[in-house]
Structure 1
C-alpha cells in the first residue's frame, strides 16, 4: 500500500494533535444565583477586557485553564486607575466564586493568568 506525502503529513499531524492538545483559552461565566446557579451570562474571555456584572452574584472561570485573577468593581465599566471600590479573587480555576462583598458589583476584569491587572 502506498501513501502520498500529503497523506502521511496529515496523519502524522493529526496524531500529534491528539497526543498534545492545545491549551484551552479560559473563559468566565457569571450567574444570577450565589452558587453558580440561576441565569447564566455569556462565557466571555479571560483576556483583560472589561465586562458587565449587573444582577450577578457568582462566577466560574473555566476549569483546566490554569489560575486566573478576577478583579470586580463597584462601579460600571472597570474604572481606569482602579478608582472606586474593587475586590480581587485569585486562583480562579473551575470553582464557583460567590461575590458577596456587601456592595453591588457592576463590572469585572478576568486576567489571562493569576496576575491581577489592577
Structure 2
C-alpha cells in the first residue's frame, strides 16, 4: 500500500489534533433545587451570553475551567441597567441563588472582576 504525501500529512494532522490538549470551554448548569439538585437545565456556554433562570434556584460552573463570574438579574434579558447581583469566583462549586428576589436571567463569563458587557 502506498501513501501519498498529502494523505500522510492529513493523517499526521488528524492524529496530532486528537492527541493535543484541548482548552476546556466552561459551561454552566442551573438547577431547580437549592443545592444543585432537582431538575437540571441545559449546560450552556459560559461566554457572557444571557440565559433564562426562571424556576431555578442554584447553579454550577463546570469545574476545572478556571475562575468565572456569574451575574444574576431579577429581570429577563440581563438588562445592563437592571438590578443584578455579582457572584464572582465560581469554579465548580454549587451556588445557591437566594438574593431576596426572583432571579429571571443570568450571564456567566470568564472574568474575575465581574464586569458587565465584557
TM (norm. structure 1) is 0.82
Aligned positions, number: 116
Shift of 1:115: 3.8
Gap runs ≥5 in structure 2: none
Q: Deviations over 1:77-101 (max 9, x none)?
A: 21123x22x2111121222111122
Confirm or deny that 1:101 pairs with 2:113. Answer: no
Match of 1:56 in 2: 56
1:43 is aligned to: 43
RMSD, aligned α-carbons: 1.9
Q: Could you say what secondary structure the match of 1:59 adopts?
A: strand
SS of 1:113's equivalent in the other structure is coil
Determine if contact 1:46/1:110 at 8 Å carries over to the other structure: yes
